[in-house]
Structure 1
Amino acid sequence: MHSPVWYAAYGSNLCAERFACYLAGGRPEGASRTYTGCRDTSAPTGIRPVLLPGSVFFGGVSRVWGGGMAFYDPALPGPAYAAAYRIKAEQFADVWCQERHQPVGALLPLDTIVAEGDWRAGEGRYDRVLVVGFINREPVLTFTFGGLRPPANPPAPAYAAMIARGLSHAYGLGPGAAVTRQRARR
């Protein structure tokens, strides 16, 4: 089992305060959902900006924010701006469950995922787990749509603002530059 791992967040989880709701539980500013948190609520032991090959687009309909959700597509031209959080493998599995509106506690076949680089739990939103690189020999993982690409849909203002806030923190961008980069990825 690979632990720790790096979780590459490219949507609202770019914002560390928002991501903390997945780890410790709580309701992010502007969201309609309260998260249960992970079985292990400890904070990340590292965080850093990362550029992923591919790009982020908005599609489908978010039950938390309204509007489109952020999805990562490694086949699109990039790069995709992300924040990598160094967390325990169990925490990554619990974040993945919460993103999929499932109870925490699932086990992911991380050895298989790391060996193959691409694994699908199904055809739904965020059902695909990808290895997008390594940091100090520790895998960098993210998740995205598992089946057909969701139809394009712009993000809700509160969701877009949370992503822009995360881009500002992770990359030191001013609010205007963060919004410009975000819009360029739509």
Structure 2
Amino acid sequence: MEHVWYVAYGSNLALERFNCYLYGGRPTGGARTYPGCRDHTAPARIEGVEIAGGLLFAGASKVWGGGSAFFDPTAPRRVAGRADLLTPDQLGDVAAQEMWREPGGAFSQDLSALLPDVAELHTMGPGRYETVVRLGEYDGLPMFTVTHGDAAELIPVAPTASYLQWIATGLAEAHGWDAPQIAHYLMGAAGVSEGWTEETLLMLRPGMSAGTEHQGG
């Protein structure tokens, strides 16, 4: 595999925010500065995609506060994502940073090496994003994402405004959705209704740059 699709469904839907994983930096509203991938090459392609499954928010994010986004492959719904065409090593480095590990470390290398053998999903550990899910193919290349191994069993928790702002921005970028479409979609995700209504979600102003500070690029 020279290239694979990494499918983002949370804040990484927004290109500026995802760039922190590629180049290093701290996204506005976040509490962490990312080291970035070893390979700073931009995605060869970026596509808006929809995949079978469900979006939910749970746990306690160290970066944003509130619930983190997770993908539930067992849910009978559809998830709006953004597919970035990366190298397997880049995907390994992105997943490592999701788990607060160093790019190029053992976790990153193990994940990139196992991608050809993942038929449906493979759980590397009990962490929040230590399960790799294969989502089929797009233009003849495999699509992968990362999530929690027991996402369907997580207790829903409302996400914060800064986190949802990035997601709303990404949905506008990847799918061209307007504010009402985004609000309706997010209200269908478990956890959102714990702290939001469609009316308050309309205040997220999708498409507006949330801003970020880069270390390199």
The match for 1:135 is: 138
Q: Where does structure 1 lack aligned partners over 5 or more consecutive residues?
A: none
Q: Which runs of 4+ in 1 moved over 3 A?
A: none
Distance across 1 between alignment mates of 2:45 and 2:187: 28
Give 1:146 shift: 2.1
> Which one of 159, 170, 178 corresponds to residue 155 of structure 1?
159
Question: Cα deviations across residues 19-64 of structure 1 (Å, max 9, x unaligned)?
Answer: 0110010011211111000000111010111111011000001000
What secondary structure sits across from 2:25 in the alignment? coil
CA positional deviation for 1:185: 1.9
Q: Is the 8 A contact 1:119 1:129 kept in 2?
A: yes
The aligned runs of 1:1-186 (5 Å cut-off) are 2-105=1-104, 106-107=108-109, 108=111, 109-113=114-118, 116-147=119-150, 149-186=153-190
AA in 1 matched with 2:96: C
In 1: Cα distance, 2:176 partner to 2:81 partner: 13
Shift of 1:117: 2.1
Cα displacement string for residues 91-115 of structure 1 (whole angstroms, at most 9, x for unaligned residues): 00000000011111121211222xx
Q: How far 1:178 sits from its partner (Å)?
A: 1.2
What SS class does the counterpart of residue 159 from structure 1 fall into? helix
Cα distance between partner residues in 2 of 1:5 and 1:14: 17
Shift of 1:3: 2.1
TM-score by length of 1: 0.94
Distance 1:147 1:58 in 2: 13
Q: CA deviation at 1:136?
A: 2.1
1:162 match: secondary structure: helix
2:74 is paired with a residue whose SS is coil
Residue identity matched to 2:116 = D
Aligned equivalents of 2:147, 2:181: Cα separation in 1: 25
| Aligned positions, number | 183
Q: How far apart are the structure 2 equivalents of 1:173 and 1:136?
A: 23
Q: Distance in 1 between matches of 2:35 and 2:88?
A: 17
Provide the secondary structure at the position in 1 that maps to 2:167: helix
Alpha-carbon contact 1:165-1:175 (below 8 Å) kept: no
Contact 1:122–1:147 (Cα < 8 Å) also in 2? no
Corresponding letter in the other structure for 2:45: G
Which runs of no fewer than 5 residues in structure 2 stay unpaired? 191-217
